[in-house]
Amino acid sequence: MIELLQPEIQKFIDDHINDQPADLMLKASQFPDWPMKVIVEQIAAKRKAQSKLPEWFSTKGLIWPAAISMEQCSSEITAKYKASIVSGKLMADLTGGFGVDTYYLSKKFSGATHVEMNAELHQVVAHNFDCLKANIQTVLGSAEDYLVSMDGVDLMYLDPARRDSDSQKVVFLEDYSPNVIEMLPQLQQKAEEILIKVSPMLDIKKAISDLGSVAEVHVVAAKNEVKELLFLLRKEPAMTLVKAVNLGESEAEVFELNYEVEESAKPEFSEVLNYLYEPNAAILKAGAFKSIGSEFGLKKLHYNSHLYTSNVLVSEFPGRAFQVLDELSLNKKRLKKQLQSMQANVTVRNFPMSVKEIRSKTGLKEGGDQYIFATTDQEGKKVLLCEKVK
Ligand SMILES: C[S@@+](CC[C@H](N)C(=O)[O-])C[C@H]1O[C@@H](n2cnc3c(N)ncnc32)[C@H](O)[C@@H]1O
């Protein structure tokens, strides 16, 4: 590891950050004393960090981990979000990994510990935390062993590995490593709060019931793609608050709900009016299908369509908003007459055909600035031509 820190090798990594691995391997004979395969892996990992971890990318002297740890680590933007929802004196990250979450979370605590059972990764992280001047204790060992011996903390954080022994992705809590469900009683003894990151594929209501004492659920999307589901456990919470967050470049869309209110909400339905709204991905994952409409005074197109409508524009809606221009036919000839060009962004919500089927039936190409929604409203199936407002 130390030899990777030679200034010439660090310069080579930066000079070739955008080069292809195969091209770089061809240069290996020019540098017979260098571990070229490892250097090429460093370049590939660092390239990934450029957008995922911009602050670390621009820090000199960091060592990058194996591809799997680069893939598993949180991004800077989602790690910073986690840091915004917790604080206290002491915290421990029992599944430290590459340490991205530990690093950003530690800024909200006076003492932090990173526990990782992979010795090579532990060594990389200890070196990087020094470079980053982070005051974080690093422990090599298993979460289970550390939990037995450790003192109490304010926050215990876990982002368990979601791969089985054959490196296949797993979704359910019981299959994670470590098994958080088994560890729960001990975790609760040692921590005031427990924050657990799980697969975005997990069913939220089932996880609330499996974990118990869930005070907050955070559905975290970045640029409209759900990245993380976070469960914050506290001792005997009065209720579970669900926050759907869509992180953008500079601002975030935040929508709060609770499932009791959601279940009792009575949506108003309407055929399509002047404006059409599609909630962001975090709100859809959170399942705020009724409360999102009532909160913004919008009517819903159909019980299962999850699209909303109004006569007057509601510009603060957390998601995309469109002006409805026309109703379309999916008959190729008629559609050609109705559209300016045969290129459009197509979205399907509660409609019997997929986007692919619509494209092959009509010959519509992807992209452009025309938007088509194929859906069902109070009157039946509808194909709507829209202009994006936001
Ligand atoms: C998903 S990664 C964590 C990524 C981390 N949150 C980050 O932002 O870099 C999970 C890590 O947990 C480690 N791990 C899995 N089972 C463990 C256990 N029983 N004890 C300690 N670490 C464990 C894996 O080696 C892996 O590095």
Peptide linkage before 178 cis (omega within 30 of 0): yes
Residue 1's pLDDT band (cuts 50, 70, 90):
confident
pLDDT at 27 (0 to 100): 84
Q: What CATH number is attached to the domain comprising 171?
A: 3.40.50.150
Same domain assignment for residues 231 and 123: yes
CA dihedral 139, 73, 184, 201 (to 10 degrees): -170
| Among 10, 35, 64, residue at a domain's last position | 64
Residue 100 shares a structural domain with residue 167: yes
Query: What is residue 357's predicted lDDT score, i.e. its pLDDT?
Result: 97
CA-to-CA distance for 225 and 285, rounded, in angstroms? 10
Does 376 contact ligand 1 (Cβ within 6 A)?
no
For the chain, what's the residue count?
390
Q: Is residue 55 part of a domain?
A: yes
Banded pLDDT at 377 (limits 50, 70, 90): very high
Our mutation pick for probing the ligand 1 site, out of 117, 145, 149, 181, counting the most ligand atoms within 8 A of Cβ, is 117
* Residue 99 in contact with ligand 1 by CB distance below 6 A: yes
- Residue 237 belongs to some domain of the structure: yes
| pLDDT, the chain, mean | 95
Residue 297 predicted with pLDDT over 80: yes
Residue numbers of the domain that contains 35: 2-64
Q: Given 257, 281, 302, which residue is the final one in a domain?
A: 257
Q: Are residues 148 and 208 in the same domain?
A: yes
Asked if residue 34 and residue 140 are part of one domain, the reply reads: no
Query: Could you tell me the distance, in angstroms and rounded to a whole number, from the CA of residue 69 to the centre of ligand 1?
Result: 9
Instruction: Average the pLDDT over 158-177 and give the result.
Output: 90
pLDDT of amino acid 134:
97
**Whose CA is closest to atom 12 on ligand 1?**
95
**For residue 99, which of 372, 123, 170, 274 has the smallest C-alpha distance?**
123
- Over residues 123-150, mean pLDDT: 97
> Same structural domain for residues 60 and 94?
no
Pocket of ligand 1 contains residue 117 by CB under 6 Å: yes
Residue 15: what pLDDT?
A: 94
Residues 281, 306 within the same domain = yes
Per-residue pLDDT, 166? 82
**321 found inside a domain:** yes
Across 153-169, average pLDDT? 92
Query: Is 352 among the domain residues?
Result: yes
Q: Tell me the pLDDT tens digit for each residue of 228-268.
A: 999 999 999 999 999 999 999 889 999 999 999 999 999 99
- Minimum CA distance residue for ligand 1 atom 27: 97
91 close to 118: Cβ distance less than 8 angstroms: no
| 262 assigned to some structural domain | no
Q: β-strands 299-300, 252-257: how paired?
A: unpaired
Q: Ligand 1: does its nearest atom lie under 6 Å from the Cβ of 65?
A: no
Whole-Å CA distances, 38 to 15, 28, 57, 124: 16, 11, 18, 14
Q: What pLDDT is attached to residue 23?
A: 87
What pLDDT score does 244 carry?
A: 98
Do 146 and 278 fall within a single domain? no
Stretch 5-13: mean pLDDT, rounded? Answer: 93
pLDDT at 164 over 90: no
User: Do both 214 and 352 map to the same domain?
Assistant: no
Please determine, for residue 285, whether its predicted confidence score (pLDDT) is greater than 90.
yes
Res. 89: pLDDT tops 90 = yes
Residue 55 has pLDDT above 90, yes or no: yes
Candidate of 177, 179, 220 to mutate for ligand 1, largest count of ligand atoms within 8 Å of Cβ: 177
Distance 212 CA to ligand 1 centre (A): 23
**C-beta neighbour count of 58 within 10 angstroms:** 10
Whether 2 has a pLDDT exceeding 80, the answer reads no
pLDDT of 168 > 80? The answer is yes
In this predicted structure, which of 52-56, 213-217, 226-230, 377-381 has the lowest mean pLDDT?
377-381
Q: Among the three residues 238, 257, 276, which one is the final residue of a domain in this structure? A: 257
26 — pLDDT class (breaks 50, 70, 90): confident
Nearest Cα neighbor of 227 from 120, 71, 335, 83 is: 71
Whether 153 and 171 map to the same domain: the answer is: yes
Asked if residue 118 has its Cβ within 6 Å of ligand 1, the reply is: yes
Q: Quick one: pLDDT at residue 167?
A: 82
Is 183 inside a domain boundary? yes
- Tell me what percent of the residues of the chain surpass a pLDDT of 90: 91
Do 197 and 223 belong together in one domain?
A: yes
* 125 and 229 share one domain: yes
Measured between alpha carbons, how far is 163 from 169 in angstroms, rounded to an integer? 5
Give domain status of residue 179, yes or no: yes
Give CA separation, 140 vs 66, 116, 122, 131, 160, in Å.
17, 5, 6, 19, 16
- Domain shared by 358 and 251, yes or no: no
Task: Name the residue with higher pLDDT: 213 or 3.
Answer: 213
| Number of domains making up the chain | 3
Give pLDDT, residue 190: 98
pLDDT digits over 185-199, tens only?
A: 999 999 999 999 999
